[in-house]
């Protein structure tokens, strides 16, 4: 159930799951004659949310990419599919049918038959990016990824979703040298997945990774309605554990950290923007200017107007 939806700049934010919802995005990229000499080319990138009891996939794809629950498909490229919500199944030539849960990356290999789909009861949300080239072949030949282990457990990762969205934005523009720039994002994604998986499986740095993910969410989603409890839930950890370890590693509580980010953003708006106090309050999610002024004075010792009129520096 969605508890709070906020629309900003035509994007819908759900603060229960901490996921930013754009309309489903799908892009197939053109590959110029000299792009392959770079060593890695990107073929497709996108994201989609599959509602319960709906068809999959939800968008139209070229014939070579069509996927049907009954017979699967074979591609001539790699794909990285990150499941962020919901669950389903996966099977391939190399592995029997397996359960897929949120936080799993599915790695598809060239010329390897595979089949996957979300549960009809839950649906799922996914990001994907397709690619091929000598660099990708070298990574697999080096033993970093294996066709026998196509499901990679990394857990929730706001950083990984941000990388996919960067690739989507670049693909939509498809400016000159776009292929070379997005191919760099692919390598970053591969490294990120490997790092998250290795450290998650051994337990090393797991706590730091979770807290760093939380801090990034707070920076990107700073808003008065942003709740630390919802962030913990979105990262798959209990709030007591989250609060204790957040304070241990940062020296402040999650609530105080969010408040500091909000006040920093408020001061930036007050100094650099020509909007009114009420508009600043609205931008940051406060119900009215009075509520914002009370919070600002509690944190800063002066009112927003005194800050603005006094020409204070950030």
Closest CA to 298 of 255, 235, 239: 255
Residue 58 is predicted with a pLDDT of: 72
Question: pLDDT per residue over 76-102, tens digit each?
Answer: 999 999 999 999 999 999 999 999 999
Which string of b and e fits 154-176 if b means at least 16 CB within 10 Å? Answer: bbbbbbbbebbbbbbebbeeeee
Q: 23 CB contacts (<8 Å, ≥6 apart)?
A: none
pLDDT at 12: 36
Please give the domain boundaries of the chain with CATH numbers for all domains: 5-202 (2.60.120.280), 205-314 (1.10.10.60)
Per-residue confidence (pLDDT) for residue 312, from 0 to 100: 62
**Which is nearest to 152 in space by CA: 119, 109, 107, 120?**
107
- Beta 5-8 vs 11-14: how paired, if at all? antiparallel
- Over its length of 314 residues, how does the chain's per-residue pLDDT go in tens digits? 333 333 333 333 333 333 333 447 888 888 888 899 999 999 999 999 999 998 887 767 777 777 776 788 999 999 999 999 999 999 999 999 999 999 999 999 999 999 999 999 999 999 999 999 999 999 999 999 999 999 999 888 888 988 999 999 999 988 888 999 999 999 999 999 998 888 775 555 778 888 988 998 898 888 888 899 999 988 888 899 999 999 998 999 999 999 999 999 999 888 887 889 999 999 898 989 999 999 999 988 999 988 988 766 55
- pLDDT, position 10: 33
Q: For position 132, what pLDDT does the model report?
A: 96
Nearest to 119 by CA among 149, 74, 90, 89: 89
pTM of the model: 0.66
The secondary structure of the chain, three-state, reads CCCCEEEECCEEEECCCCEEECCCEEEECCCCCCHHHHCCEEEEEEEEEECCCCCCCCCCCCHHHCCCCCCCECCCCEEEEEEEEEEEEEEECCCCCEEEECCEEEEECCCCCEEEEECCCCCEEEEEEEEECHHHHHHHHCCCCCCCCCEEECCCCHHHHHHHHHHHHHHHHCCCCHHHHHHHHHHHHHHHHHHHHHHHHHCCCHHHHHHHHHHHHHHHCCCCCCCHHHHHHHCCCCHHHHHHHHHHHHCCCHHHHHHHHHHHHHHHHHHHCCCCHHHHHHHCCCCCHHHHHHHHHHHHCCCHHHHHHCCCCC
What whole-number distance in Å separates Cα of residue 277 and Cα of residue 224? 15
Token pair for 46: 């996108």
The whole-number pLDDT of residue 98 equals: 96
- Please give the pLDDT value at position 183: 95
Q: Which two tokens stand for residue 118?
A: 């979300």
Q: In what order do the strands lie in the sheet with 19-21?
A: 5-8, 11-14, 19-21
C-alpha angle with apex 311: 307 to 312, nearest 5 degrees? Answer: 60
């Amino acid at each position: 159930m969605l508890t709070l939806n906020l629309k900003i700049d035509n994007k819908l934010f759900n603060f229960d799951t901490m996921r930013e919802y754009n309309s489903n995005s799908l892009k197939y990229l053109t590959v110029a004659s000299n792009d392959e000499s770079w060593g890695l080319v990107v073929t497709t990138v996108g994201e989609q949310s599959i509602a319960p009891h709906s068809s999959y996939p939800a968008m139209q794809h070229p014939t070579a990419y069509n996927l049907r629950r009954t017979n699967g498909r074979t591609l001539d490229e790699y794909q990285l599919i990150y499941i962020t919500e919901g669950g389903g199944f996966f099977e391939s030539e190399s592995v029997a049918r397996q359960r897929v849960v949120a936080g799993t990356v599915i790695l598809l290999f060239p010329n390897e038959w595979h089949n996957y789909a979300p549960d009809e009861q839950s649906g799922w949300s996914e990001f994907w990016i397709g690619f091929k080239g000598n660099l990708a072949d070298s990574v697999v030949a080096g033993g970093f990824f294996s066709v026998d282990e196509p499901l990679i457990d990394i857990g929730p990762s706001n950083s990984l979703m941000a990388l996919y969205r960067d690739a989507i934005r670049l693909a939509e523009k498809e400016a000159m040298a776009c292929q070379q720039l997005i191919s760099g994002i692919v390598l970053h994604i591969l490294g990120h997945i490997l790092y998250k998986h290795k450290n998650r499986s051994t337990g090393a740095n797991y706590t730091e990774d979770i807290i760093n993910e939380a801090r990034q969410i707070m920076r990107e989603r700073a808003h008065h309605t942003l709740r630390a409890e919802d962030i913990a839930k979105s990262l798959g950890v209990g709030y007591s554990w989250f609060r204790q370890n957040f304070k241990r590693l940062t020296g402040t509580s999650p609530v105080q950290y969010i408040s500091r980010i909000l006040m920093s953003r408020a001061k930036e708006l007050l100094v650099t923007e020509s909007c009114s106090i009420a508009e600043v309050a609205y931008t940051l999610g406060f119900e009215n200017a009075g509520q914002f002024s009370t919070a600002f004075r509690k944190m800063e010792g002066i009112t927003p107007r005194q800050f603005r009129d006094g020409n204070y520096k950030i």
